[in-house]
Chains A and B, each alone.
Chain A
Amino acid sequence: MNFKLKIWRQKNAATKGKFEDYTLNDVSPEMSFLQMLDYFNDKLITEGGQPVHFEHDCREGICGSCGLYINGRPHGPLRNTTTCELHMREFEDGSTIVIEPWRSRAFPIIKDLVVDRSSFEEVMLAGGFVNINTGGALDANTTPINKKISDRAFDAAVCIGCGACVAACKNSSAALFVSAKVSQFAMLPQGKTEAAERVEKMVAKMDDMGFGFCSNTYACEFDCPKGISVEFIAQMNREFFSAKVCSHKK
């Protein structure tokens, strides 16, 4: 297969970036998208060029490192698929593929296709944990948890924190990411005790970090590679309002 690639090139945060056009021939349909980029980079390097920087590690859709905006969609055309799981057989031979980094004020570009997602980490540091010390936990089976509830918590917990939800949203909202974390803990007995403080702190931090508001377009759910449901956003909103009401009463 042959492709025209239109790739965002930017030397560093301080310089301005722009699209560069390239052609890449002899791509095999069995290659994954990142293997195609490896192959492309190898060519660039041997021809004396500078390879395109992009992030990746596990290459099996679980670490959340990879994240490219491909033909106008985070992680490309397939639903429930990360960039590293995408294969070239999904693209039309001879077509042009546009590759960009995530675009959001909260995710500044570092180089080429690599962005700084530490704003997610800041939100997690604000309260994304259960305050429990090591040692002294009771036997795990002393706290039975209804299977449906625990499965539901798991559905929220599978978020890989890649940032596709923010990239998909016209407002750059992080509501889906934050709500998945808030909901997972709020649903389980272990995290419930601190649910109110947690949601207040995490939402406040999310606003501080420059993420936009959620206007319920659901683009995030559509482009989430892990199929996280927007119902968690509703749940976060409920948690948030009831926390606010409670703290007013106090």
Chain B
Amino acid sequence: MIKLESKIPQGPLADKWNNYKSHLSLVSPANKKKLDIIVVGTGLSGASSASALGELGYNVKVFCFQDSSRRAHSVAAQGGINAAKNYKNDGDSVYRLFYDMIKGGDFRAREANVYRAAEVSNLVIDHFSAMGVPFARDYGGGLDTRSFGGVQVSRTFYAKGQTGQQCLLGTYSSLNRQIAKGNVTLYTRRDMLDLVMVDGKARGIITRNLLTGELERHSAHAVVLATGGYGTVFYLSTLALGSNSSAAWAAHKKGALFANPSFIQIHPTSIPVLNDYQSKLTLMSESLRNDGRVWVPKEKDEKRKPNDIPEEDRDYYLERRYPAFGNLVPRDVASRAAKERCDAGYGVGDTGLSVYLDFKDAINKQGEKVIADKYGNLFEMYEKITGINPYREPMRIYPAGHYTMGGLWVDYNLMTTIPGLYSVGESNFSDHGANRLGASSLMQCSGDGYFILPYTIGDYLSDEIRTPRFSTDTPEFEEAEKEVKERIARVMAVNGTQTVTSFHRRLGKILWDSCGMVRSKEGLEKGIEMLDQLEEEFWKEVKVPGTADEYNQELEKALRVADFFEVGRLMCQDALDRDESCGAHFREEFQSPQGEAQRNDAEFAHVSAYEYAGNKQKPVLHKEPLVFENVELKERSYK
């Protein structure tokens, strides 16, 4: 029987982490060398974990599916990274960052974890700066910041529109330093396909060498999953195409609970769908809402070009509905507001599924050069994709699947319900509740890896120093490898007539319609039914060409899509179970007369963590109550 123990330390919020980490057990330097740790993932969370653990002297193996660790999806983050430095003297503090995240997450995150994330954010910025990450600076040579949605202070550090790239390259360099020293071994072009358990503990993984198809066994004293988000479940999303849920799902099947699977952020500003073959939606960073104004025409059948529509015929609906935050309302609010306008018939573009993001006023006020300095690369990206110059004409944008707040359930130590299995970064559920505030993921990923996991994992490993390095020639590894082999053989054997992508596209559409920005009981139930049917068809009709023992990109995709069916079903189940609206989870049945989300704190102030019960079996729901001792549960208003 699984018991959820959050292991939140006693004591006042602000002292918890400091006190706790001073009392954690340590591993001596001589013993660290004898302990092996596997880290899966080389994004900000994985690369920071691996390099910090390598630095401490553990023997680390790190894995990614790309050809280089620096291509992990973190590289694509654009707008910035938060820290409570208060460099702008505008009233920021660790507490305020904590409060903004708790409120932004619509009171569905654990206070202690969020506070700690805010607390270590300052260390992260100092560390990046020391590694030579070229953040934007002002003329005095100090670091510059900007504002992001859902907050009223300026705490977002940035490197033009390439903050993720610069942070990841910095982290990559610290990882390389440990690889060069021999503390970390990097395995690229590997897919983790299973987790190996020995005596109830995580003890290794099975990977597939993507170039040869060979299945490999790796053992360790502890395993860390840093495998990112699963927003690609929608097929069209802002994520890199390889992003997947397979590693986390393998862990889930072995006993790791999956928390809040339906909390998926739909980002308000992505370039809209332009054609039927679209494979990806490109994000236009939230930072643009600092200077861009969102609007639609006041008339439904407006035929004029955007620049020909005079001020009085424009509806700046965010400024109208939310005067206090205006264009900088949080993402869930902005996304739903865009959908509301489009559904009501005011959308623009051929499909009517987009709204304008206009920089005319900002350019008039600040000049084109200043705007180019802040957003140059984003404007270029927009023009390349759409052929429209956003300096001259407003951008067209629409919401797109973006970030998974849900993920593997972890306790305060970032350990899942499987002893010895940790989860960091976007792959865990920990810090963002039902909605993530902009620029707080890079912050969480780096904080988890550099400044939290290295402490908490030591506490676990201090009990493992007598466990010798073990062989992979054991029945447990044998069995896990056999299961993987059978799964691969099964999908290869179908030999149907339809491509993997065609299934992924249909799967994504079902989920977008039933478990996207707006959900309903009826829609979700229908969604589950359709997923069942499509999954059945997949196992009869999918075609994977080539063989399993060669470089086979279609096979890689097929294994991921096969897992997405199960993930999708769990998302719908979670959305059904949660009879309230909170953050990104908006159930049509639960809204105020003004169309705002209506939480139900009496019944739903908890984390929903699901236990796997077999495919198509109803998962077992465990609830972790959320206790708010430091903030008052309030209606989340941005008016």
Contact = CB atoms under 8 A, between A and B. Distances in A.
B66 A63 contact: yes
A5 interface: no
Contact of B126 (A56, A138, A185): A138
Nearest to A38: B279
Given A125-B179, A137-B126, A55 B73 contact: no
A117 B173 contact: no
A188 B134 contact: yes
Interface string A66-103: 00000000000000110001010100000000000000
A12 B498 CA distance: 26
A60 B77 CA distance: 11
- On chain A, which size bracket covers the interface? 35 or more
Contacts of A87: 384-385, 387
A184 B520 CA distance: 52
B71 A64 contact: yes
Contacts of A188: 132, 134
Given A150-B134, A157-B166, A161-B68, A50 B241 contact: no
Given A55-B67, A154-B134, A188-B134, 9 more contacts: A46-B498, A58-B75, A58-B76, A130-B173, A150-B137, A150-B141, A157-B134, A161-B70, A190-B131
Contact of B169 (A51, A56, A157): A157
Q: What 4 pairs between A and B have smallest CB-CB spacing?
A: A144-B141, A129-B173, A140-B129, A137-B130
A51 B554 contact: yes
A133 B174 CA distance: 8
Contact of B137 (A81, A120, A134, A147): A147
A34 B550 CA distance: 23
Given A42-B499, A158-B165, A190-B129, A135 B71 contact: no
Contact of B134 (A61, A121, A184): A184
Interface in B261-297: 274-280, 282-283
A143 to B, nearest CB: 7
Contacts of B85: 140-141
B162 A46 contact: no
B138 interface: yes
Contacts of B497: 46
Contacts of B543: 45-46
Contacts of B87: 141
A9 interface: no
B177 interface: yes
Interface string A106-143: 00001100101110110011101111111101111101
A135 B451 contact: yes
A138 to B, nearest CB: 7
Interface of A: 12, 28, 30-32, 34-36, 38-39, 41-42, 45-46, 48-51, 53, 55-65, 80-81, 85, 87, 89, 110-111, 114, 116-118, 120-121, 124-126, 128-135, 137-141, 143-147, 150-151, 153-154, 157-158, 160-161, 184-185, 188, 190-191
Contacts of A114: 551
Interface in B515-559: 543, 545-546, 550-551, 553-554
Contacts of A151: 134, 137
B501 interface: yes
Given A57-B241, A143-B129, A42 B502 contact: yes
A85 B385 contact: yes
5 contacts: A60-B76, A62-B162, A129-B173, A130-B130, A135-B450
Contacts of A32: 279, 385
Contact of B551 (A53, A59, A131): A53
A81 B384 contact: yes
Interface string B115-156: 000000001011111111011111111110000000000000
B242 interface: yes
A60 B282 contact: yes
Interface in B144-193: 159-160, 162, 164-166, 169, 172-174, 176-177, 179-180, 188
Contact of A57 (B51, B71, B126, B160): B71
B141 A145 contact: yes
B55 interface: yes
A137 B162 contact: no
B238 to A, nearest CB: 9
B75 A45 contact: no
B102 to A, nearest CB: 26
Nearest to A157: B134
A80 B377 CA distance: 11
Greatest chain B CB density within 10 A among A41, A63, A144 is at A63
A242 B553 CA distance: 47
Contacts of A157: 134, 159, 166, 169
B132 A134 contact: no
Given A42-B499, A137-B129, A137-B130, A57 B545 contact: no
Interface in B479-516: 497-499, 501-502
Given A42-B502, A140-B125, A147-B139, A154 B160 contact: yes
A128 B123 CA distance: 23
Contact of B55 (A45, A118, A134): A134
Nearest to B133: A157
Interface in B351-409: 380-381, 384-385, 387
A154 B174 contact: no
A28 B275 contact: yes
B329 interface: no
Nearest to B387: A89
A129 to B, nearest CB: 4
A134 B67 contact: no
Nearest to A114: B551
Nearest to B83: A140
A38 to B, nearest CB: 6
A89 B386 CA distance: 11
B211 interface: yes
B141 A133 contact: no
Given A57-B240, A62-B76, A134-B52, A146 B130 contact: no
A145 B134 CA distance: 10
B511 to A, nearest CB: 20
B546 A12 contact: no
A134 B450 contact: yes
Greatest chain A CB density within 10 A among B51, B180, B454 is at B180
B17 to A, nearest CB: 14
Contacts of B546: 50
Interface string B311-348: 00000000000000000000000000000000000000
Nearest to A52: B553
B159 A63 contact: no
Interface string B30-71: 000000000000000000000110010000000000111011
A61 B126 CA distance: 28
Nearest to A152: B134
A35 B136 CA distance: 34
A50 to B, nearest CB: 6
Contact of A147 (B138, B169, B283, B498): B138
Contacts of A132: 130-131, 174
Contact of B67 (A62, A80, A118, A144): A118
Nearest to A141: B142
Contacts of A60: 76, 280, 282-283, 381
A63 B75 CA distance: 6
